[in-house]
């Protein structure tokens, strides 16, 4: 399944927001949590819309996005 660049970018943005949230505390953590929440909601919305467009399950698209955002490994 070809995954649109926008979904890869949304996934990476959600991961970056999660990392920022985990590395902050106090007031900064509250802001970072809000950013993470918004980024995650945008990702879920994007995945759901793409799944509907493609006639695929949301879970199938989620797995494909996950694979698309992970570095490729090769067996030696």
Q: Decide if 30 is inside a domain.
A: yes
- Give tens-digit pLDDT for 11-70: 999 999 999 998 888 888 889 999 999 999 999 999 999 999 999 999 999 999 999 998
Q: Decide if 74 is inside a domain.
A: no
Q: Decide if 76 is inside a domain.
A: no
Split at pLDDT 50, 70, 90, the class of 73 is low
Q: What is the pLDDT of residue 28?
A: 83
Q: Decide if 12 is inside a domain.
A: yes
Domains held by the chain: number: 1
Q: Decide if 51 is inside a domain.
A: yes
Tokens of 72: 């490729």
CA distance 50 to 33: 26
Q: What is the pLDDT of residue 76?
A: 45
Q: Decide if 65 is inside a domain.
A: yes
């Amino acid at each position: 399944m070809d995954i649109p660049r926008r979904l890869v970018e949304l996934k990476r943005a959600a991961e970056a927001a999660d990392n920022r949230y985990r590395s902050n505390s106090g007031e900064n953590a509250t802001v970072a949590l809000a950013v993470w929440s918004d980024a995650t909601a945008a990702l879920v919305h994007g995945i759901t819309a793409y799944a509907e467009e493609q006639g695929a399950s949301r879970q199938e698209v989620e797995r494909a996005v996950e694979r698309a955002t992970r570095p490729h490994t090769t067996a030696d």
